[in-house]
Amino acid sequence: MYAQVIVEYPVKTLDKTFTYSIPSILKNVLLVGMKVKVPFGTKEIEGFVLEITDICEADYEIREIIEIIDKELILNEELLHIADFLKEETLCTKIKALQSMLPSSLKAGNKKRKDYAHYEAYIRLNKEVDIESYIRQNRRYEKQIEIIELLENEERISKKDINNSSLKTLLSRGIVVEEKEQVYRLQNKEDQIKDKVLTEEQQNAFLKIKESLNEYKTFLLFGVTGSGKTEVYIKIIKEVIASGKRALVMVPEISLTTQIAQRFAASFGSDVAILHSSLSVGEKYDEYIKIIRKEVHVVVGTRSSVFAPLENLGIIIIDEEDSPSYKQENTPKYHAKDVAMYRAKYNHIPLVLATATPTLEAKARADKGVFELIKMEKRVGASTLPEIHIVDMEKEMKQKNMIFSRLLIEKIKEKLEKKEQVILLLNRRGFSTFITCSNCGFVYKCPSCDITMTFHKTSNNVMCHYCGYTIKKSDLCPKCHEDALNYYGLGTEKLESELQKIFNEARIIRMDQDVTQKKGAHERIIKAFKNLEYDILVGTQMVSKGLDFPKVSLVGVINADASLNIPDFRSNETTFSLLSQVAGRAGRSDIKGEVIIQTFNPDNYIIQCVKNNDYNSFYRKEMDFRRKLRYPPYYYLVGIKVIGKSYEVALKEAQKVKKYLDMHLNRETICLGPTTAAVLKYKEEYRFQIIIKYRFDESLKSVLKEIASFYVTNKDCYIDIDFNPNRI
């Protein structure tokens, strides 16, 4: 018997399987999908078994599989199919696809491998010795006797509760024995709560999905903020579990996982596994193992949880389907929604895409009847959608109100007096967004990217938000050594400190990437704010989605134009979604919510649509724009980057690629470029971009494969292909 093994090296030239013979001790043990160690050249490396065959067609010397690694891990048939799908959809290598589906602890070739399981030690009396006589002979060692008596009453005790020298003696004499047991690091401690009685809209949504539990169908659950989508998920998942199946719930951000996970834990107890990037390696391992062992019926997680090895899957729910975080920005550049759709088809189950602000793609498909639209238009209970005020910042500037408008100050004051809470959104972290010298014109710029660096006051660093390059800020200008550095631009750090100057009594907390580096920081901030330990929450887009704080009655958007001015075809959509979502954090319970949006473009139609909570007008206008300019959902996009250390070489190769595309693509397909990428220089490399817009093009994939393989051996340049990019 032979095994076809794909090895850990993610290079195109090795994107195939190698034949190994199966040693007799593994003959009845080795299965397709297992991870194995194999000899490869002079090394021992790892790979996955993709096939087991009786005959050998290889024309090279066949060597033997050495051993199985991580015996519990077996990539099932579905996951192997998903890997093929990823490879085909993103043009990555198969091994890259397989590896991206696994937590780091279980990847092939993990150099830090160890036993990731976490054990707890317990002690118990040794039943094989004569305890009575031991007690008789050792009466004077009171501490030892105490332990023995404890264990006589209590079968076994956690060792860490009694770790002293008397216990050591008892252990060494064999009176007490120790045993280890695997325990999961994450334990659910949520109090169980009773499910809510669904409102009519919720019940209606639930019933519609329930009808299709045994078929492939995609629903667009279009429910306004606060319409109670989470309760619908819970009810439908209970139904799924009752039929013996399992559920996957995806959420966009770590900050959101916390709240939803808590809500799920309160309903499903320890039947839930959580997967997101701020878990430790060990925690992730544990959660993954729970799924492999079929110990949970529900998985809640961020993007890569779409690969959770849940067997007998019964439903997939994608919360906030419009979040860009579902697209992976590194190879393989997959979209979790596509993978989810693939899995839903594979398993003949429904996929639910839920949001208050659907992507144009999803809404358009719903309009065409490809997806089934379910609407929830009312907030639950007494709560209503907030009132939205638009403030023209040009007028405020004339009054020297640079950051806060008068209305915002007044409203914050009012809410603080009423002991209600406030959320302020500024989608930019750091203190000042650039520093320049008024004497010589020096600007802090990243040496490896085309980007001005942002000042972070707490750490006194300047940082490139693109590549992360960080240096200490000097007091004098680093170039002319004059004391002439000036600070411009506003980030959340400065916003917080300016706010504190005005409201010195207020308790302010900030949530952005800088303060959430530490593990568990999200949870702590969200919990503290929910427990009313703070009055104002200041943050980046992290505070905009999904969070449910009943006491928040005011949301302020400091600079609504920031995302509007990004030169990207999706910027209108992103802005509409961001503003509507953050507005949706206000007035979620019985207190009335208000929203203040500060902008230099008060008449902009996006801002107006947000104000009127008018998704439909936004949708119509935006669709019109997309159709005219041939953007999604009317056209599909592919972004191709040609990247190299030399500007000239990269540009020349990009022109060659363009020429090749022009010759080989369909005539209706549009091919634009090459132009410099939005950020031309990134990490010392120059990037040129070609954009393809197409509707139907059977030859596209093969042409792109051709180009990609042509550059595999090029030393000066490489190609990056991104299907349906978030941004171009």
Question: What residue ranges bind ligand ADP (CB under 6 A)?
Answer: 196-199, 202, 223, 225-231, 380-381, 548, 588
The distance of closest approach from Cβ of residue 203 to ligand ADP in the complex, given in angstroms and rounded to an integer, is 9
The distance of closest approach from Cβ of residue 476 to Zn ion in the complex, given in angstroms and rounded to an integer, is 23
Residue 556 tokens read as 């302020």
| Identity of the residue, 87 or 588, whose beta carbon is nearer to ligand ADP in the bound complex | 588
Residue 446's binding partner among ligand ADP, Zn ion, none (Cβ under 5 to 8 angstroms by kind) is: Zn ion
**Residue 52, strand partner residues:** 3
The distance of closest approach from Cβ of residue 116 to ligand ADP in the complex, given in angstroms and rounded to an integer, is 34
Positions 388 through 427 that interact with Zn ion (CB under 5 A) = none
The distance of closest approach from Cβ of residue 446 to Zn ion in the complex, given in angstroms and rounded to an integer, is 3
Tell me the CA distances in angstroms from 422 to 396, 470, 596, 722, one per residue in order: 21, 32, 11, 39
The distance of closest approach from Cβ of residue 261 to ligand ADP in the complex, given in angstroms and rounded to an integer, is 13
| Identity of the residue, 103 or 430, whose beta carbon is nearer to Zn ion in the bound complex | 430
| Identity of the residue, 91 or 374, whose beta carbon is nearer to ligand ADP in the bound complex | 374
> Could you tell me the sign of the dihedral formed by the alpha carbons of 143, 149, 155, 161, in that order?
negative
| Identity of the residue, 355 or 452, whose beta carbon is nearer to Zn ion in the bound complex | 452
Residue 449's binding partner among ligand ADP, Zn ion, none (Cβ under 5 to 8 angstroms by kind) is: Zn ion
Residue 469's binding partner among Zn ion, ligand ADP, none (Cβ under 5 to 8 angstroms by kind) is: Zn ion
Residue 467's binding partner among ligand ADP, Zn ion, none (Cβ under 5 to 8 angstroms by kind) is: Zn ion
Q: What is the 3-state secondary structure (H, E, C) of 24-91?
A: HHHCCCCCCCEEEEEEECCEEEEEEEEEEECCCCCCCCCEECCEEEEEEEECCHHHHHHHHHHHHHHC
Closest CA to 349 of 510, 452, 240, 430: 240
| Identity of the residue, 378 or 429, whose beta carbon is nearer to ligand ADP in the bound complex | 378
| Identity of the residue, 268 or 455, whose beta carbon is nearer to ligand ADP in the bound complex | 268
Residue 681's binding partner among ligand ADP, Zn ion, none (Cβ under 5 to 8 angstroms by kind) is: none
Strand order in the sheet with 717-723: 670-682, 685-694, 636-644, 717-723
The distance of closest approach from Cβ of residue 680 to Zn ion in the complex, given in angstroms and rounded to an integer, is 12
Whose CB is nearest to ligand ADP?
228
**Distant-in-sequence, close-in-space partners of 664: CB < 8 Å, separation ≥ 6:** 699, 703, 706
| Identity of the residue, 530 or 641, whose beta carbon is nearer to Zn ion in the bound complex | 641
| Identity of the residue, 64 or 377, whose beta carbon is nearer to ligand ADP in the bound complex | 377
CA dist., res. 710 & res. 476, Å (int): 50
What is the per-residue burial (b if ≥16 Cβ within 10 Å, else e) of 707-724?
Answer: bbeebeeeeebbbbbbbb
The backbone region for 51, taken as left when phi is positive above 0, alpha when psi lies in -120 to 50, beta otherwise, is: beta
The distance of closest approach from Cβ of residue 644 to Zn ion in the complex, given in angstroms and rounded to an integer, is 17
Q: In this structure, what DSSP letter does residue 191 have?
A: P
The distance of closest approach from Cβ of residue 152 to ligand ADP in the complex, given in angstroms and rounded to an integer, is 48
Residue 464's binding partner among ligand ADP, Zn ion, none (Cβ under 5 to 8 angstroms by kind) is: Zn ion
The distance of closest approach from Cβ of residue 284 to ligand ADP in the complex, given in angstroms and rounded to an integer, is 26
CA dist., res. 394 & res. 559, Å (int): 12
Positions 433 through 472 that interact with Zn ion (CB under 5 A) = 446, 448-449, 464, 466-467, 469
Q: How many CB atoms lie within 10 A of CB 589?
A: 18
CA dist., res. 354 & res. 219, Å (int): 8
Q: For Zn ion, how many residues bind (rule: CB under 5 A)?
A: 7
Residue 677 tokens read as 């990428």
The distance of closest approach from Cβ of residue 587 to ligand ADP in the complex, given in angstroms and rounded to an integer, is 11
The distance of closest approach from Cβ of residue 694 to Zn ion in the complex, given in angstroms and rounded to an integer, is 33
Determine the residue type at 150. L
Residue 548's binding partner among ligand ADP, Zn ion, none (Cβ under 5 to 8 angstroms by kind) is: ligand ADP
Residue 225's binding partner among Zn ion, ligand ADP, none (Cβ under 5 to 8 angstroms by kind) is: ligand ADP
Burial of 603: CB neighbours in 10 Å, binned 0-12, 13-18, 19+: exposed
**Residue 316, strand partner residues:** 248, 351
Residue 228's binding partner among ligand ADP, Zn ion, none (Cβ under 5 to 8 angstroms by kind) is: ligand ADP
Residues in the chain: 728
First to last CA, the chain: 49
DSSP string covering 240-289: HHHTT-EEEEE-S-HHHHHHHHHHHHHHHGGGEEEE-TTS-HHHHHHHHH
| Identity of the residue, 230 or 492, whose beta carbon is nearer to ligand ADP in the bound complex | 230
Question: Rounded to 5 degrees, what are φ and ψ at 355?
Answer: -175, 165
The distance of closest approach from Cβ of residue 209 to Zn ion in the complex, given in angstroms and rounded to an integer, is 46
Q: What is the 3-state secondary structure (H, E, C) of 319-349?
A: CCCCCHHHECCCCCCCEHHHHHHHHHHHHCC
| Identity of the residue, 355 or 454, whose beta carbon is nearer to ligand ADP in the bound complex | 355
- Radius of gyration over every alpha carbon of the chain, rounded to an integer in angstroms: 29
CA dist., res. 65 & res. 358, Å (int): 50
The distance of closest approach from Cβ of residue 650 to Zn ion in the complex, given in angstroms and rounded to an integer, is 18
**Distant-in-sequence, close-in-space partners of 6: CB < 8 Å, separation ≥ 6:** 16, 17, 18, 47, 48, 50, 94, 95, 98
Determine the residue type at 181. E
| Identity of the residue, 466 or 660, whose beta carbon is nearer to Zn ion in the bound complex | 466
| Identity of the residue, 222 or 686, whose beta carbon is nearer to ligand ADP in the bound complex | 222
Determine the residue type at 690. I
The distance of closest approach from Cβ of residue 235 to ligand ADP in the complex, given in angstroms and rounded to an integer, is 9
| Identity of the residue, 561 or 720, whose beta carbon is nearer to Zn ion in the bound complex | 720
| Identity of the residue, 274 or 564, whose beta carbon is nearer to ligand ADP in the bound complex | 274
The distance of closest approach from Cβ of residue 546 to ligand ADP in the complex, given in angstroms and rounded to an integer, is 6
Decide if 595 contacts 462 (C-beta within 8 A).
no
| Identity of the residue, 107 or 235, whose beta carbon is nearer to ligand ADP in the bound complex | 235
Tell me the CA distances in angstroms from 676 to 230, 516, 568, 669, 687, one per residue in order: 43, 33, 14, 21, 6
The distance of closest approach from Cβ of residue 256 to ligand ADP in the complex, given in angstroms and rounded to an integer, is 10
| Identity of the residue, 144 or 225, whose beta carbon is nearer to ligand ADP in the bound complex | 225
The binding site for Zn ion (CB under 5 A) comprises 446, 448-449, 464, 466-467, 469
